[in-house]
Amino acid sequence: MEKSLQKEKAERFRALHSRGRILILPNAWDVPSARVFEDSGFPAVATSSAGMMVSLGYPDGESIPRDLYLSAVRRISNSLSIPLSVDAVSGFGETPVEIESTIRGIIESGGIGINIEDYLTRSDSLRSLDTAVERIKLIKKFGEKFDVPLVINGRTDALRHAPGSDEERLKEAILRAKAFRDAGADCVYPMGLTDATSIETFVKELDYPTNVMVRRGLPPIRELERLGVARVSFGPSASYAAMGLLKRVSREIIEEGTYNSLVEGAITFDELNKLASPHNI
């Protein structure tokens, strides 16, 4: 991607986080899922790491080879005209040199936003706050080095993985998100924040752009907007939905011998094929 276009996309994406209007950010797992989202009118798309990794045969986490992951990011980015934010999981590496490789790879693959989380799948535990904060600073630095003003979404998994009661975990999530904010993240993302009361507490405490994820029980968009949420992302839920549909399709054809769930509401061959055509940018 032309560097000037990539920088413009990063700034365009950053501006979508301004207060007042919520950003609805769908997460895709491949080219056509991303293109359906663009064609539906969303102003930006993000990758779902779980969706993409499982699609490529790897579980969520960092067991997928980085280059295989990035090649899929690049295919998605090449197919879109709107900004693409990329999930860097927990950084794909431990040293600053490895973080630099990850960020350079994402930028070379067309990404303009980064999700970085403080949870490590392989140890099933949270990073120390210092380490997590250091990563956000490094990502900001490498974005500047490679001349793309990356939009950094700092995710904490404290609500799921910190010790203590629900209240203590919420406190830890707020503490970590404030540290991410102060380290230069453009948006903070407390994974698992779902109910209106906790969202309200969190957003008031942070007073900073906050990302929540769609899941059963999340208040509707209008309510999220009232609560001051800046951005709501799909996470892997588009993959959950698509695979749920394939389970229903399978059950219907095996048990009933019919194809209603396979053909009702489906797109056509020409529509599918167009999702792979080069996009006018």
Give the whole-angstrom CA distance, residue 257 versus residue 251: 9
Q: In one letter, which amino acid is 152? A: I
Question: Between residues 145 and 248, which has the closer beta carbon with respect to a copy of itself?
Answer: 248
Minimum distance, C-beta of residue 181 to a copy of itself, in the bound complex (Å): 27
Minimum distance, C-beta of residue 277 to a copy of itself, in the bound complex (Å): 6
Helix, strand or coil, per DSSP, at residue 80: coil
Residues 6+ apart with CB under 8 A from 260: 252
Question: Between residues 5 and 276, which has the closer beta carbon with respect to a copy of itself?
Answer: 276
Minimum distance, C-beta of residue 143 to a copy of itself, in the bound complex (Å): 26
The CA-CA-CA angle for residues 124, 129, 134, to 5°, reads: 110
Minimum distance, C-beta of residue 34 to a copy of itself, in the bound complex (Å): 10
Question: Between residues 145 and 226, which has the closer beta carbon with respect to a copy of itself?
Answer: 226
Helix, strand, coil in percent for the chain, rounding step 5: 50, 15, 35
In which element (H, E) is residue 260 found? Answer: helix 260-263
Q: Could you identify the residue written with the tokens 């406190």?
A: 171
- Asked if residue 238 lies in contact with residue 245, where contact means CB atoms within 8 angstroms, the answer is no
Partners of 50 in beta bridges: none
**Binding residues vs a copy of itself (CB under 8 A):** 24, 26, 30-33, 36-37, 40-42, 50-51, 53-60, 75-76, 78-79, 214-216, 218, 220-222, 234, 236-251, 253-254, 256-259, 261-263, 265-269, 271-273, 275-277
Question: Strand 119-120 vs strand 125-126: parallel, antiparallel, or unpaired?
Answer: antiparallel
Minimum distance, C-beta of residue 121 to a copy of itself, in the bound complex (Å): 10
